[in-house]
Amino acid sequence: MNAPWTRCDREMIPELLARLDVETDKGLQMAYASALGNLRAEEAVGPLLALLAVTENRGARLELALSLARIVGEEHPFIQLLRQVRADPGTALSQAVAAMRKRQERGASGADLERTLTECEERLARGDLAQGCRLLARSLQEMPRERLDEAGALILAECARQMAQTGAEPLDYVLLALHTLQSSRV
């Protein structure tokens, strides 16, 4: 559960964003990103996504994805999905997409979206992560966005763009997209 932040803590967000923008030390960048995630600073989503796009270190990428995940929801589901994916990526991702597809069916989002999600789920279950993630990217572009806040919409748009280009690697975009959808109940 996120800590209750005081008004004084939240007043640090502009300073943290300014420092993140000019900082060249990777360790300090990660510290600022983590603090912004802990503060659930929605205004940090754009800069954190930009930093994620240029960061190559796998551990740092996951830390940035976690910071973004904290902004849109609780961190526990993100970490739980990460652990499941590490153990069995195809099954874990397929199950997450299946849960999302069932929520979509209830929302009557459309037959094309349901077909795309079903094919995505099947590809992931068979271990075809690259194609499954490209299908997930396509489904993100087809989903209705009216229940998303601005932060969630920005995250999903960037995740869809990245997954359409790269498929399943790196997995941080896939995890972040599924977490954002779960947190937003889209």
| CATH code of the domain covering residue 52 | 1.25.10
Q: Which domain holds residue 62?
A: 7-72
pLDDT in tens, 33-79: 999 999 999 999 999 999 999 999 999 999 999 999 999 999 999 99
Could you tell me if 38 and 99 lie in one domain? Answer: no
Could you tell me if 11 and 36 lie in one domain? Answer: yes
DSSP string, the chain: ------HHHHTTHHHHHHHHHH---HHHHHHHHHHHHHTT-GGGHHHHHHHHHH---HHHHHHHHHHHHHHHS-HHHHHHHHHHHHH-HHHHHHHHHHHHHHHHHHHT--HHHHHHHHHHHHHHHTT-HHHHHHHHHHHHHHS--TT--HHHHHHHHHHHHHHHHHTTSSTHHHHHHHHHHHHHT-
What average pLDDT does this structure show over 4-27?
86
Could you tell me if 85 and 64 lie in one domain? Answer: no
